[in-house]
């Protein structure tokens, strides 16, 4: 989905501010963006509630897994299958990055999606079989604590919206609504949208400054919010691509996924270089679609091996193959 320029300008400004202003129950409130320092501080809540849950008799995840395996409700083979699927999807994603053609990457994405779906089903069944654990309780309670910690009455983020007691007295639906607000902020400031923002024309003048985070924000890196760090990280990443990647097609310069894929394919072109005939009227790239040819800077209208086979009844002789490869015979 494409957004207007104003959306991306607002998004970057929001990241710079370090908070998001939202309306809740008829008044403006301010949701702080987490920093690395905050995350370290807030981890204590999780440890606190794990201990409380164990003291109250809830079993740990490790103990629950042992129990369900002893009962035959879950098996080591199923656990191994989860590990294998994770390993395979990670490797497929790494392979996808170095493939030179977009059509190849899109085809591999189908395999990745299929394995991720299978993995998701297995993990859901595992959670259902294991049931509630001390870690589950700790996650839920610490998430509530973190939510309270992020809510403020003022832009300066000096006065929390609720005290511990006030937050504890909130109705379930009120906490749920606050959680939805927080989730919407995370969605708005997703990696994908921040990447799109730093590639917009208005941000072009700032890209080179992303090399120095302190000069950019005048803050130590430990005081930067996660979103401020991502603006710097993605800005630096794309700035380096523009500096060191040649012949980037204009139509992909504002598309993060295509730009990253093009950069990766260029870095690997020596080992994965498509067969291109430089002096031909239409570049010939084996297995390439028109979009692939355009992505790597060739002439749209390149000839794919599949289409040539179809033209010649499924067979090509040596001379035809040599011409496709760019050799005069």
pLDDT in tens, 91-118: 998 888 777 677 888 889 999 999 999 9
Q: What is the mean pLDDT of residues 291-315?
A: 57
d(CA 81, CA 281) in angstroms, rounded, equals: 51
Q: What local confidence, expressed as pLDDT, does residue 168 receive?
A: 85
d(CA 294, CA 250) in angstroms, rounded, equals: 10
Domain boundaries, the chain: 20-178, 191-265, 275-324
Element (H, E) at 63: helix 61-70
- Residue 214 pLDDT grade (very low, low, confident, very high; cuts 50, 70, 90): confident
How far, in Å, are 16, 44, 260 from residue 203 at the CA level? Answer: 13, 38, 18
pLDDT tens-place string over residues 248-269: 999 999 999 889 888 887 777 6
Question: What residues contact residue 140 under an 8 Å CB cut-off, 6+ apart?
Answer: none
Q: What local confidence, expressed as pLDDT, does residue 307 receive?
A: 62
Q: What local confidence, expressed as pLDDT, does residue 99 receive?
A: 76
pTM for the full model? 0.69
Q: What local confidence, expressed as pLDDT, does residue 237 receive?
A: 94
Express as a percent the part of the chain with pLDDT over 90.
Answer: 53
Q: Is 242 exposed, middle or buried (0-12, 13-18, 19+ CB in 10 A)?
A: middle
- Please, where are the H alpha helices in the chain? 5-17, 36-55, 61-70, 76-98, 102-130, 134-150, 164-168, 172-188, 191-198, 213-217, 226-244, 256-267, 269-272, 290-295, 305-311, 318-324
Q: What integer best gives the mean pLDDT of the chain?
A: 84
Element (H, E) at 308: helix 305-311
Q: What is the mean pLDDT of residues 33-42?
A: 81
Q: What is the mean pLDDT of residues 240-247?
A: 90
Question: What residues contact residue 284 under an 8 Å CB cut-off, 6+ apart?
Answer: 275, 276, 277, 302, 303, 324, 325, 326
Express as a percent the part of the chain with pLDDT over 70.
Answer: 81
Q: What local confidence, expressed as pLDDT, does residue 195 receive?
A: 96
pLDDT tens-place string over residues 180-192: 999 999 999 999 9
Q: What is the mean pLDDT of residues 123-132?
A: 92
User: In the chain, what is the straight-line distance between the N-terminal and C-terminal CA atoms, in Å?
Assistant: 48
- Residue 135 pLDDT grade (very low, low, confident, very high; cuts 50, 70, 90): very high
């Amino acid at each position: 989905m494409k957004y207007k320029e104003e959306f991306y300008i607002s998004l970057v400004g929001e990241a710079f501010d370090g908070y998001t202003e939202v309306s809740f129950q008829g008044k403006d409130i301010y949701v702080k963006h987490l920093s690395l320092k905050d995350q370290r501080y807030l981890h204590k809540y999780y440890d606190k509630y794990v201990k409380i849950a164990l003291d109250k008799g809830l079993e740990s995840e490790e103990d629950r897994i042992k129990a369900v395996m002893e009962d035959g409700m879950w098996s080591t083979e199923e656990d191994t299958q989860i590990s294998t699927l994770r390993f395979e999807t990670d490797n497929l994603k790494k392979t996808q990055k170095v493939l030179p053609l977009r059509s190849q990457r899109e085809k591999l994405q189908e395999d990745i999606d299929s394995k991720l779906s299978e993995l998701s089903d297995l993990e859901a069944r595992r959670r259902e079989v294991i049931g509630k654990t001390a870690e589950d309780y700790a996650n839920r309670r610490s998430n509530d604590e973190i939510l309270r910690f992020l809510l403020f009455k003022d832009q300066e983020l000096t006065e929390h919206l609720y005290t511990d007691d006030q937050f504890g007295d909130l109705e379930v639906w009120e906490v749920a609504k606050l959680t939805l607000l927080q989730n919407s902020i995370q969605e708005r400031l997703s990696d994908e949208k921040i990447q799109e923002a730093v590639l917009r024309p208005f941000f072009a003048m700032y890209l080179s400054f992303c090399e120095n985070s302190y000069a950019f924000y005048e803050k130590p890196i430990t005081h930067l919010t996660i979103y401020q760090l991502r603006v710097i990280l993605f800005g630096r990443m794309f700035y380096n691509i523009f500096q060191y990647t040649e012949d980037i097609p204009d139509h992909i310069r504002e598309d993060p996924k295509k730009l990253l894929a093009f950069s990766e394919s260029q870095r690997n072109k020596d080992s994965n270089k498509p067969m291109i005939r430089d002096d031909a009227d239409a570049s010939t790239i084996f297995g390439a679609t028109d979009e692939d040819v355009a992505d790597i800077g060739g002439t749209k209208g390149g000839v794919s091996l599949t289409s040539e086979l179809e033209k010649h009844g499924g067979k090509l002789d040596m001379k035809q193959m040599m011409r496709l490869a760019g050799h005069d015979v």
